[in-house]
């Protein structure tokens, strides 16, 4: 956020009629460290995908579709390893 936006936010917060418990809640939210996302294991990722696939998850097409989606970015230029020393 820009300084201008932060100043506007601060002015807005000061204008609110907050109870002591509301102020404490807001303070905890503001100083709370950002939650770190845990990486899913390959098995968890597959299980989540198949859960979303519905009836496909019980067929061969579900497994094929999962493999296709898993490798969909393999041939994209941004995912290639380029050696600049050559």
Mean pLDDT of all residues belonging to the chain: 80
pLDDT-based confidence at residue 36 (cuts at 50, 70, 90): low
What is the model's pTM?
Answer: 0.35
- For 55-71, write each residue's pLDDT tens digit: 767 777 777 877 887 78
What pLDDT shows up at residue 64? 82
Burial track 8-30 (b if 16+ CB lie within 10 A, e otherwise):
eeeeeeeeeeeeeeeeeeeeeee
The total of structural domains in the chain comes to 1
**Residue 11 included in any domain:** no
Residue 54 Ramachandran class (φ > 0 left, ψ -120 to 50 alpha, else beta): left
**Residue 19 included in any domain:** no
What pLDDT shows up at residue 20? 92
Stretch 32-55: mean pLDDT: 77
- pLDDT surpassing 80 at residue 31: yes
**Residue 35 included in any domain:** no
Domain that holds residue 49: 42-74
* 42 closest CA partner among 14, 23, 66, 19: 66
């Amino acid at each position: 956020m820009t300084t201008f936006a932060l100043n506007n936010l601060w002015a807005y917060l000061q204008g609110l009629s907050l109870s002591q418990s509301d102020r404490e809640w807001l303070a905890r939210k503001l100083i709370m460290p950002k939650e770190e996302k845990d990486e899913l294991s390959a098995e968890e990722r597959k299980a989540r995908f198949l859960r979303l696939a519905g009836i496909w998850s019980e067929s061969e097409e579900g497994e094929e579709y999962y493999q296709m989606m898993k490798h969909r970015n393999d041939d994209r230029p941004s995912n290639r390893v380029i050696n600049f020393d050559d």
